[in-house]
Amino acid sequence: METKKGEKMDRRVRKTRAQLRAGLARLMQQKNIKEITVKELVDEIDINRSTFYLHYTDIYQMLQSIEGELMEDILEAIKEHPLDPGMKEEGYSFAIQLFRILAANKDICAALMGPNGDMAFVEKIEKLVEDAVLPELFTMFPQNVNDIKYAYAFCINGCVGMIKTWLSSDNQESTQHMAELTHKLID
């Protein structure tokens, strides 16, 4: 992980941020972000408040930073694997990459998509994918624009539901399996 200036992030900083993330994810499983205090978070992971403030200004800025990192990862996956419906391998490659991102960030992603999560964040991710896929679909099927919109809405909502179930599952299937299943269902 790198800082904004492109410098390598110190190992202690990475460790502290990972602890803060894990603690926030645990608390978000229990309550809404509006109900979580800095004191509660630092007590959860047993660090000083001053340590928290070295990294973030408040809980909301921390959540925004985490969401921003996830958005960057997903944008990078879209760039690496363009979501062109005509190129089935690329769609599959994107699905694998997406599930790897979700698995690497399982605790916070499960919290963000859970009952106390941030549905606005989920909607931003949906919009990223929509902007990458719909223009291609409209080009491929110009006579069925309205049907394409409905089919896309059906697919994306099904994918979100499947991801939520996968993230909250104790008996977790592999990222490979989930990517294959997603690809089959959408295809």
From first to last of its 187 residues, what are the pLDDT tens digits of the chain?
A: 444 444 456 888 889 999 999 999 999 999 999 999 999 999 999 999 999 999 999 999 999 999 999 999 999 998 888 765 555 566 688 899 999 999 999 999 999 999 999 999 999 999 998 998 888 888 888 888 889 999 989 999 999 999 999 999 887 789 999 999 998 888 7
By C-alpha distance, which of 109, 110, 127 is closest to 168? Answer: 110
pLDDT for the residue 84: 59
Q: What is the pTM of this model?
A: 0.84
pLDDT for the residue 64: 96
pLDDT for the residue 49: 95
Report the C-alpha gap between 161 and 83 in whole angstroms: 20
Beta bridge mates, 70? none
pLDDT for the residue 161: 94
Beta bridge mates, 2? 8
By C-alpha distance, which of 36, 39, 65 is closest to 52? Answer: 39
Radius of gyration of the chain (CA): 18
pLDDT for the residue 132: 86
Report the C-alpha gap between 107 and 113 in whole angstroms: 10
